[in-house]
A and B are shown apart, each in its own frame.
Chain A
Amino acid sequence: MPHPRFSGFGLGLRKPHYADFLETAVPVDFVEVISENFMIPGGRPRRILNQVRARYPVALHGVSLSVGSAHGLDADYLGRLRRLVDEIEPLFVSDHLSWSRAPRFNAHDLLPLPYTTEALDIVCANLAHAQERLGRPMLLENPSSYLAFAQSDMTEWEFLEQVCARTGCGLLLDLNNIHVSAINHGFDPLAYLAGLPLDRVRQIHLAGHSRGETFLIDTHDQPVPPSVWTLFAEVIARLGPVAVMIERDDNIPPLAELLDELDQARALARHGVAA
């Protein structure tokens, strides 16, 4: 399946900024929305999404596919996502390398996987099924995590490389997640980047985190920190055309603050490409 390429700078669309996006010309090249927020029958949220879509390309970013579930994917979920995809014709459809669903249970969180051959087979089978059902390739986002499983027999980046090779999916590279997991688990983020098939990266998330008692926590409620900007400057020059965005999910600031962060990304990208 072909991977579309898109070069630009965008923001996650959040409720406090709906009016800005509908009533003004916000200087972004695309917006990203949380798929599940719009997998509803109708009403104001769907109308707003369609109005935004008429003005900006939209990427759909999911949190509930549960691609790592040992019990397969939810048919109702996939059906609703397909209908949304058909309606919105998104730039990208993405979700996370994680699991949330077990029989008669859904954790509503991005839970970690052991990086084993069995998990690899399951993720690849589920992702291939999802891509077939959606009729298009997906982007898989690297997760942040707070525990590592002793039974893992490959690194996360080796696992992702294998998933890309076997399913043809692309990557949504979340640089904050790499930093958070690198600190939490003690690996080198540059080794992580070096191990990824960077030619598969189609989108980048830039976000912030919080410091918990034991771990960095992937809260998306802070500005992008210097450590993440450093990773961005490191990787952007090595990528082809890519969609870069600021991902803020909580403690949402005025739109102008996010646009300032996006300008910082633009400046770093120009510098990186020039270098």
Chain B
Amino acid sequence: MTLAMLQAEFGDWLMTGSDRAAARFTPAAQAGLLVYQNNYRAALMACLHESFPQTVQWLGHEDFQASAAHCIDDCPPDSWSLDHYAAQFPHSLAAQWPDDPEVAELAMLEMALADAFVGPDADALDGTALGLVDWDSARLTWVPTARLLTLRTNAQAIWSALASGRTVPPAQCIPHAATVLVWRHAETACFRTLDPLEEALAPRLFAGMKFADVCRALVRAKGEADGIRTAGLWLAQWAGDGLLRRDAMT
């Protein structure tokens, strides 16, 4: 048997735990195979537990274990990084809990926050540097951790309540899907729901829209004075939240 064949059979044993896979090894190897099988599943289970603490709380330990075990059975890891393994869990939850869409969305939000926590670094434009920007020509350039999620449930409210120990609201679908912005600010992963006007402009905003065009769009929507005032408020909020990338805008 070549090493490639042996490794394929060992992998088959780990993934399936089947008698058929175990029978390809000698009787003397059987006890050891069980140790490796246990290690394999325990490592993946621990990865999912650590990556989705609020989803564990929401589902409860037993249901989470069962869902994680299902994911481990259905989706073997194929990357060197356990972070990459965790990324597929929300998809597995969506298939496992079709009538409870908040479960997968809660996990998706947790995964986005985890990604933002270790995402690429970038100097953010702070309030003191706003004067260095040529706002007539500047294009909005966002820090690389900024990412938009579309949520059809109140998963973000559930996450916030679970994370802060407050009373958790019942799950509900929301009439209009919410656009949630996730990013990292001062080494903390954070999120907020975009307001309706920000949400309407989001596809252009996050594609590098010129700030002058943002002002024009807001003036069209809200009138001259209110539009310019809103543009200023948005800019102050984006800068205060560390969302704009300094090196690309100054």
- Nearest Cβ on chain B to A14's Cβ, whole angstroms: 14
Residues 47-72 of B contacting A (Cβ, < 8 Å):
47
Measured in the bound complex, the distance between the Cα atoms of B6 and A113 in whole Å is: 9
* Interface 0/1 of A251-273, CB less than 8 Å to B: 00000000000000000000000
Cβ-defined partner of B4 (8 Å) among A41, A45, A71, A150 = A71
Residues 33-54 of B contacting A (Cβ, < 8 Å):
33, 35-36, 39-40, 43-44, 47
Cβ-defined partner of A116 (8 Å) among B3, B33, B144 = B3
Total of A-B residue pairs, C-beta within 8 Å: 119
Cβ-defined partner of A111 (8 Å) among B1, B29, B36, B184 = B36
Measured in the bound complex, the distance between the Cα atoms of B80 and A76 in whole Å is: 9
Residues 1-50 of B contacting A (Cβ, < 8 Å):
1-4, 6-8, 10-11, 14-15, 25-26, 28-29, 31-33, 35-36, 39-40, 43-44, 47
User: Which size class do A's interface residues fall under?
Assistant: 35 or more
B3–A114 contact, CB under 8 A? Answer: yes
Known interface pairs A41-B121, A69-B7; 14 further A-B residue pairs with C-beta atoms within 8 A, sorted by A's residue number = A36-B80, A36-B82, A39-B81, A40-B118, A41-B120, A105-B11, A109-B14, A109-B39, A109-B40, A114-B3, A145-B32, A147-B31, A148-B29, A150-B26
The binding surface of chain A is classed by DSSP as loop
A107–B11 contact, CB under 8 A? Answer: yes
What are 13 contact pairs spanning A and B, CB under 8 A? A41-B118, A43-B119, A46-B118, A46-B121, A64-B80, A100-B80, A107-B36, A113-B3, A118-B2, A118-B3, A145-B32, A147-B31, A149-B29
- Nearest Cβ on chain B to A3's Cβ, whole angstroms: 26
A102–B8 contact, CB under 8 A? Answer: yes
B31–A151 contact, CB under 8 A? Answer: no
* Interface 0/1 of A178-204, CB less than 8 Å to B: 000000100000000000000000000
Cβ-defined partner of A107 (8 Å) among B6, B8, B40, B117 = B40
Q: Which residues of the partner chain A approach B136 to less than 8 Å between Cβ atoms? A: none
Cβ-defined partner of A108 (8 Å) among B10, B77, B117, B144 = B77
Closest-by-CB residue of A relative to B44 is: A108
